[in-house]
Amino acid sequence: MTPQPLSRRTFLGVSGAALLAQPSERLLIDTHLEVWTLDTAFPFRHPERANLKVPMAAPIENQVEQMRDFNLKYAVLINPRYFGWDNSYISLQPAQVPNLFVAHGLINPLDPNVADKLRYWVKEHGFQGMRFSPIYHPKATWLNSKEHYPLWREAEKLGAVFNYYILPHQMPCSKTWPGVFQA
């Protein structure tokens, strides 16, 4: 019997229950765990640093051991920028240790097919969401552009979660996204 991947609903439900537990019983979750390999089958394609060399790998096996050492129950795997917009390596990792990880990949927010890319990684590979890094593009305005409304609608349909590496001035406000922040 193939183990079922951990759903976002289960992950959040267990996390919420952990808040009610006694401190010694609390559920600990790493919400940003990056893993990578130096295997040339997964070449580095860093979007901002094309010649980046990384001296060592950070395989999932090392992370599992550290999670046990620190009593971490679950982790959100985040695709490092080393691989650029290719989430292939990270997509293979949750199956290595079932029911321990969920995956967040990277997609290029400037790709005209960004909503399709989101759908692909969520539907085809079981990703729970994506990470965006506007901090690398301080003058970028794509977060609140009308061209990106399809991305946000698709994310809502899929139940995808985003995490951001962002500067305070890059945060959209309700004046630039009418209707988005209404209850």
Q: Are 109 and 122 in contact (CB under 8 A)?
A: no
Side chain identity at residue 37, one-letter code: T
| 140, burial (CB in 10 Å: exposed 0-12, middle 13-18, buried 19+) | middle
> pLDDT 10s per residue in the chain (183 long)?
445 567 766 766 666 665 565 556 788 999 999 999 999 999 999 988 888 888 899 999 888 988 989 999 999 999 999 999 999 999 999 888 888 999 999 999 889 999 999 999 999 999 999 998 888 877 777 777 888 899 999 999 999 999 888 877 777 664 554 554 443
In CATH, the number for domain 8-170 is 3.20.20.140
Q: Pairing mode, if any, of strands 129-132 and 101-106?
A: parallel
* H helix count then E strand count, the chain: 5, 5
User: Count of residues for the chain?
Assistant: 183
Query: What is the structure's pLDDT at 183?
Result: 39
Domain assignments of the chain as residue spans, ordered by start: 8-170
Rg, Å, the chain Cα set? 17
- CB-based contact 170:138 (threshold 8 Å): yes
pLDDT on residue 19 = 57
